[in-house]
Amino acid sequence: MRTIITATGSYIPDRRIPNDFFLGHEFLDASGKKIDKPNRQILDQFEAITGIRERRWVSDDLMTSDIAWRAAEDALASSGIDRESLDCIIVAHNFGDVRPGSRRSDLVPALAARVKAKLRIENPFTSAWDLVFGCPGWLQGVIQADAMIRAGDIRRAMVIGAETLSRISDPHDRDSLIYADGAGATILETSPDDSAGILSHAVRSDTIEHSKMLFMGPSYNQEVFLEALFLKMEGRKLYKYALQNVAGAIRLSLERAGAGIADVRKIFLHQANGKMDEAILAALYQLYGIEQPPPGVMPMTISWLGNSSVATVPTLLDLVVKGRLEGHSISPGDLIVFASVGAGMHINAAVYRMPA
């Protein structure tokens, strides 16, 4: 038995937030002191480092479970299947539903239960549960669903990655410029073709030294936000960790699949930071003695969608599958790689062959 992806969907918010939106912001350092640089210089440096020119934010009437549901509906429309035939719904996220202005996570009931209710699925045996695994959450949900399918417990699953990071971003922290909102969904099914589908995966969690590189902390402006907590990160340490470890996890997953880097058609890497992703890609090919990665092997959306955490990879996949990302396509038989890194610190990778 193999697990194949039979449909994809996504929800990309309409609200565009260009870098110039932040020209009037007050950026502070961790001590609460104003950064002694003009905002234009801060924003230009940010774009040069991350590649981000704009990001998407949800409107005030939407929460994470709402956009997860919209991505799910898009995937169902693409598949044409009966939604009642889903054996499970897995929603990967990290902060639950956060109402605009509240800064509080709402986690009960599970977001997956909310999505199932919005989908109007009556089947009581469609289990619905959440997965919290940092930015690699969607891919970890795929790995979990694959295990359940191969064990014979289920035959069809939906895995969704959704996040509204704009709601937990500190407006006075320039690191928060990286965060965005979005949702991506995939439908996975069993297949008797053992030459296609998910061929292998690798997962690692480095917690002793690295678990606190992403954390919840107070705003840099304690006068405005006295008690609220916001997402914080040790950006340079995270960059170094990712560069040292992600390529190795991808290589391990390729070895487990009996494949080499020359066999890979596309690499769908978590859209965390443009420069970091390019460095990870270069490090991966250098492990095989190749100095220059082939052009077009790594699709990118971070320049216009930003970093939407668990949503980046499934959204990227949906855009490529549906021919909505210029210059990129995948065909039956192509070998592709998924990989992500995020809070924990967690890394995962999976090798997938497109079915005929």
Q: Which residue has the higher pLDDT, 223 or 72?
A: 72
User: CB–CB of 214/233 below 8 Å?
Assistant: yes
Torsion sign, CA atoms 312, 318, 323, 329: positive
Task: Report DSSP letters for 47-116, one per residue.
Answer: HHHH--SEEEE--TT--HHHHHHHHHHHHHHHH---GGG-SEEEEE-SS-EE-TTT--EE-SS-HHHHHH
Do you find a cis peptide bond into 345, omega within 30 degrees of 0? Answer: yes
Asked if residue 183 has pLDDT above 80, the reply is yes
In this prediction, residue 226 has a pLDDT band, given cuts at 50, 70 and 90, of: low
* Residue 103 pLDDT greater than 80, yes or no: no
Cis amide linkage into residue 13, ω under 30° from 0: no
Q: Looking at the predicted structure, is the pLDDT value of residue 205 above 90?
A: yes
Please name which of 67, 45, 46, 48 lies closest in space to residue 56, comparing C-alpha atoms.
67
Among the residue ranges 223-237, 283-297, 319-333, the one predicted with the least confidence is 223-237
DSSP 39: H
**What average pLDDT does the segment 333-347 reach?**
95
Q: In this model, does residue 323 exceed pLDDT 70?
A: yes
**In the chain, what percentage of residues exceed pLDDT 90?**
86
Span 67-102, pLDDT tens digits = 999 999 999 999 999 999 999 999 999 999 999 887
Picking from 289, 203, 312, the residue whose alpha carbon sits closest to that of residue 249 is: 203
Check residue 203 and give its pLDDT.
97
What pLDDT score does 154 carry? 97
| pLDDT per residue as tens digits for the range 282-294 | 999 999 999 999 9
- pLDDT tops 70 at residue 184: yes
Q: Which amino acid is at 339?
A: A
| pLDDT surpassing 90 at residue 212 | no
Lowest mean pLDDT among 88-102, 139-153, 223-237: 223-237
Instruction: Tell me which DSSP letter residue 220 carries.
Output: S
Per-residue pLDDT for 309 more than 90? yes
pLDDT of residue 59: 96
Rounded Cα gap, residues 353 and 356, in angstroms: 9
Q: Which amino acid is at 93?
A: H
Q: What is the pTM assigned to this prediction?
A: 0.94
Q: Cα–Cα distance between 181 and 98 in angstroms, integer?
A: 12
152 — alpha (psi -120 to 50), left (phi > 0) or beta?
left
